[in-house]
Amino acid sequence: MAKAVIAGNWKMHMTCAEARAFAEAFLPLVADLPSDREVILAPPFTAIAALSEALSGSAIKISSQNVHWDGSGAYTGMISAPMLLEHGVTHAIVGHSEPRKYYSETDEQINHRARAAQEAGLIPILCVGESDAQRESGEAERVIRRQVEQGVDGLDPAALVVAYEPIWAIGTGKTCAAAEANRICALIRGWVGFPEITIQYGGSVKADNIDQLMAQSDIDGVLVGGASLDPAGFARIAGYQVPVTA
C-alpha cells in the first residue's frame, strides 16, 4: 500500500532563520514516525535552501508552493522545476485555491505546471475544491470534476497527489465533516480513474481532527496550512493514529 502523505504548506510564512528553528524543534519529534507515512514541508521559495540543509539526513521531504511550466525564461516572479530540483525538492503544489483566486490561475495553466513538474521528476500536489457559493448552489461536484479532469490531463497518476481542499474550509476553522470529505475524495478517485491515486484532504486540519480524517477509507493524507507552522502541533498531526478496526 502507498504511504500516507502528510504535507504542511507554510504559505507566505517563515524566514530562513525561522525555518531552521522549526526544523531543529520538529526533527526530534518525528524521529520515530511509523514507516507507513511520509511527511513533506512546503516553505516559501526563499527558505527552501535553508530548510533543505536543515532537514538533510532526515526523511522529511520538501515541496514548492508552485512551479512554472518552462524551465527558464522571461517570467518575472516565477520559479522553475530545475531550480527546485537543485535544492532536493521532491514535490510541487499546483492549483492551490489562493493562486487560483489572487492570480486568476486557470485549469489549463495548472495542468501545464503539473505536466512540467512531472516531466522534470517532481510529484505535483494538485489542489481542487469548491467555494462556499458553489457548494450552496449545488455546483460543488461539477466544479471539482472539471478541476480534476482538466488538471490531471496527460499526467501519470502514479506520480501525482490530488488534494481536495474545499475553499470554505481553508483557514476558517470550519473543517469539512470527515464523512463528506471522504465522499468527495472517493468521487475524485473515480474521476481520475486510477484506484491507487493518493488523495489528500485539506482545510483546517488540526491535531484534534487528524485521527478522524485519516481513519476515512478514501483519505490518504492531508495538506495542512496554519497548523503546520507549529513544530509540536504538526508533529502531532504527522503522528496521527487510526483506531484499529476489527
126 scored as a contact of ligand PGA (CB under 6 A): no
**Diameter of the chain measured on Cα atoms:** 58
Q: Does 202 bind ligand PGA (CB under 6 A)?
A: yes
Q: Which is nearer to ligand PGA, 5 or 56 (CB)?
A: 5
Using the rule CB under 6 A, is 170 a contact of ligand PGA? yes
- Shortest approach of ligand PGA to residue 74 CB, angstroms? 30
For position 203 contacting ligand PGA by CB under 6 A, the verdict is: yes
Burial 72-111 (b: 16+ CB within 10 A, else e): eeeeeebbbbebbeeeebebbbbbbbbbbeeeebebebbb
Q: Which three cell numbers stand for residue 75?
A: 517570467
Stretch that binds ligand PGA, among 33-41, 78-86, 201-209, 211-219 (CB under 6 A): 201-209
Report d(CA 24, CA 84) in Å as an integer: 22
User: Nearest 5°: phi and psi at 227?
Assistant: -75, 0
Closer CB to ligand PGA, residue 9 or residue 80?
9
Nearest distance from C-beta of residue 146 to ligand PGA, angstroms: 20
For residue 47, what is the DSSP state? G
C-alpha 99: how far from its chain's center?
A: 14
Residues 215-234 that bind ligand PGA (CB under 6 A): 223-227
What minimum distance in Å lies between the beta carbon of 41 and ligand PGA? 12
CB atoms within 10 A of CB 218: 18
Closest separation in Å from C-beta 63 to ligand PGA = 11
Residue 92 near residue 117 (C-beta atoms within 8 A): yes
Contact present, 50 and 16 (Cβ < 8 Å): yes
User: Residue 60: exposed, middle, or buried by beta-carbon count in 10 A (0-12, 13-18, 19+)?
Assistant: buried
**Binds ligand PGA by CB under 6 A, chosen from 147, 204, 209, 216:** 204
**Residue 85: CB minimum distance to ligand PGA, A:** 23
Written as one string, the DSSP assignment of 130-182 is --HHHHHTT-HHHHHHHHHHHHHTT--GGG-EEEE--GGGTTTS-PPPHHHHH
Residue among 80 and 204 whose Cβ is closer to ligand PGA: 204
Give 124 or 202: the residue with its C-beta nearer to ligand PGA: 202
Q: Which stretch binds ligand PGA (CB under 6 A): 31-39, 79-87, 198-206, 213-221?
A: 198-206
Which region, left, alpha or beta, applies to residue 203 given φ > 0 means left and ψ of -120 to 50 means alpha? Answer: left
Identify residues 25-44 at the interface with ligand PGA (CB under 6 A).
Answer: none
171 lines the binding site for ligand PGA (CB under 6 A):
yes
Active-site positions?
96, 165
Query: Where does this chain touch ligand PGA (CB under 6 A) — which range of 25-33, 104-112, 184-192, 199-207?
Result: 199-207
Site residues, ligand PGA (CB under 6 A): 9, 165, 170-171, 202-205, 223-227
